């Protein structure tokens, strides 16, 4: 009776195995190629077809130009320190000092006036002179005007104006940067890469970071690993610019009978098929079909529309190892390693072993 039940059960299990009703972690080669042909999806053997090249986007000029060179003009929010040097009788002599009228010997001296913050009016008040316009002028020009107005009031006055830069001469950094905040601009003419370095650099890999520059309502973006010193995007910054670093990981997905089913990030501009297979740990020896390494991708057709395409690599063909070094992976690709056909049979054996002893299973399968 037991033998009859087993003999009745085995054909059913074998039929289940043949019909692929047993659990499976990935399809076999025929289960990919067959439905693809039925659906009109092209399956292209990489060995028989030149490796597709990465589409080259038309070169676009960086829309934001270099800011005008800065010559040190004073801006609203700056803080000024005015020092007056005098020879002879001092108009700005400290209180308590004796004057020449009291018999003091004329001498050289300096007096630093209290610090003055430049307001919206663009004016600062200087004792004995009154309001002096400073916004948009250099420290040398402001010092010369003060010196000229002191003529007749002070003997041989010389004036030095020092500037402590305020927020009007700064750029804001935010996002995926180590030290976000305001970064001052100097006469050195800081550029985009200079500013990122001053802010501590990106918090993640340059390949996973995009740089967004906003100026006067206009915005432009570039990947940080593509931003070079001589790049047109490495522009001279202007006051009020906003630089944002955005984490943007480019990746592909590995599925099926690879050793590591995971999302693989691009470490650089390009990632080849050979590198992608290696980073996924290679093929799993106990279940992978080396003739069925598939890449699922959308390609742009002649009409500009996207269409699904499947590329197939046969690792049992020695030529495939050379071509896999030239086949460039793209963002959002799906790399699938097919199951070997024997995997289903192995699962059948495991299923039988759960129902009967291994000895009976061998006897049934060898009849």
Specify the CATH number for the domain of residue 347: 3.10.560.10
Of 255, 258, 278, 265, whose CA–CA distance to 324 is shortest?
278
The per-residue pLDDT for range 292-311, each reduced to its tens digit, is 999 999 998 888 889 999 99
Round to whole Å and give the CA distance between 96 and 247: 63
Is residue 252 a contact partner of residue 271, using CB atoms and an 8 Å limit?
Answer: yes
Is 70 exceeded by the pLDDT of residue 343?
A: no
Q: Which of 164, 179, 207 is the last residue of a domain?
A: 164
Which domain, by its residues, includes 205?
Answer: 169-247
Of 125, 141, 164, which residue sits at a domain end? 164
Do residues 151 and 117 both lie within one domain? yes
Within-domain flag for 212: yes
Least reliable range by pLDDT among 51-55, 187-191, 227-231, 300-304: 51-55
Under the banding of pLDDT at 50, 70 and 90, the label for residue 54 is low
Specify the number of domains making up the chain.
3
Which two tokens mark 229?
A: 């010193």
Q: Give the list of residues 6+ apart from residue 59 with CB closer than 8 angstroms, or none.
A: none
The DSSP secondary-structure symbol of 315 reads T
In a domain, 349, yes or no: yes
| pLDDT exceeds cutoff 50 at 133 | yes
In a domain, 125, yes or no: yes
Do 210 and 153 lie in one domain? The reply is no
Facing residues of 84 across strands?
A: 111, 159
State the DSSP code for 162. E
- Taking the C-alpha atoms of residue 349 and residue 347, their distance in angstroms, rounded to an integer, is 5
Residue 355 shares a structural domain with residue 280: yes
Give yes or no: residues 276 and 354 share one domain: yes
pLDDT tens digit string along 65-100?
999 998 889 999 999 999 999 887 777 766 545 444
Specify the pLDDT at position 312: 95
Q: Which of 164, 190, 224 is the last residue of a domain?
A: 164
Shared domain check, 225 and 198? yes
Is residue 62 included in any domain, yes or no?
A: no
| Inter-CA distances, 130 with 127, 148, 352, Å | 6, 13, 102
Same domain, 275 and 357: yes
Q: In the chain, what is the straight-line distance between the N-terminal and C-terminal CA atoms, in Å? A: 18
CB atoms within 10 A of CB 336: 22
Provide mean pLDDT across the span 126-152: 93
Domain-embedded: residue 255: no
Mean pLDDT of 108-122: 90
Give yes or no: residues 92 and 48 share one domain.
Answer: no
**Distances from the Cα of 261 to the Cα of 9, 15, 100, 264, 286, angstroms:** 35, 30, 91, 9, 15
């Amino acid at each position: 009776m037991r033998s009859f039940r087993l003999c009745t059960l085995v054909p059913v299990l074998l039929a289940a195995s043949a019909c692929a009703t047993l659990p499976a972690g990935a399809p076999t080669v025929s289960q990919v190629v067959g439905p693809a042909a039925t659906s009109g999806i092209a399956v292209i053997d990489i060995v028989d077809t030149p490796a597709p090249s990465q589409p080259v986007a038309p070169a676009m000029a960086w829309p934001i130009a270099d800011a005008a060179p800065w010559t040190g003009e004073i801006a609203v929010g700056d803080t000024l320190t005015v020092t007056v040097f005098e020879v002879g009788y001092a108009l700005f002599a400290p209180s308590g000092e004796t004057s020449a009228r009291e018999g003091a010997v004329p001498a050289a001296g300096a007096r630093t006036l209290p610090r003055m913050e430049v307001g919206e009016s663009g004016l600062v008040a200087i004792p004995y002179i009154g309001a002096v316009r400073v916004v948009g002028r250099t420290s040398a020009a402001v010092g010369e005007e003060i010196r000229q107005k002191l003529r007749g009031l002070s003997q041989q006055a010389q004036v030095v104006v020092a500037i402590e830069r305020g927020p009007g001469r700064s750029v804001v950094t935010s996002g995926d940067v180590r030290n976000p905040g305001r970064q001052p601009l100097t006469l050195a003419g800081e550029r985009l890469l200079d500013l990122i370095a001053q802010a501590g650099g990106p918090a993640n890999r340059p390949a996973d970071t995009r740089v967004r520059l906003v100026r006067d309502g206009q915005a432009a973006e570039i990947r940080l690993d593509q931003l070079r010193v001589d790049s047109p995007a490495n522009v001279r910054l202007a006051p009020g610019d906003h630089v944002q670093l955005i984490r943007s990981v480019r990746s592909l997905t590995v599925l099926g009978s690879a050793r590591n089913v995971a999302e693989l990030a691009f470490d650089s501009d390009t990632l080849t098929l050979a590198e992608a297979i290696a980073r996924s740990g290679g093929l799993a020896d106990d279940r992978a079909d080396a003739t069925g390494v598939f890449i699922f991708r959308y390609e742009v057709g002649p009409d500009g529309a996207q269409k699904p395409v499947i590329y197939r690599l046969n690792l049992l063909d020695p030529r495939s190892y050379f071509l896999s070094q030239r086949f460039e992976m793209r963002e959002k690709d799906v790399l699938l390693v097919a199951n070997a056909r024997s995997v289903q049979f192995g699962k059948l054996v495991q299923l039988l072993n759960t129902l009967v002893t291994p000895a009976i299973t061998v006897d049934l399968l060898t009849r």
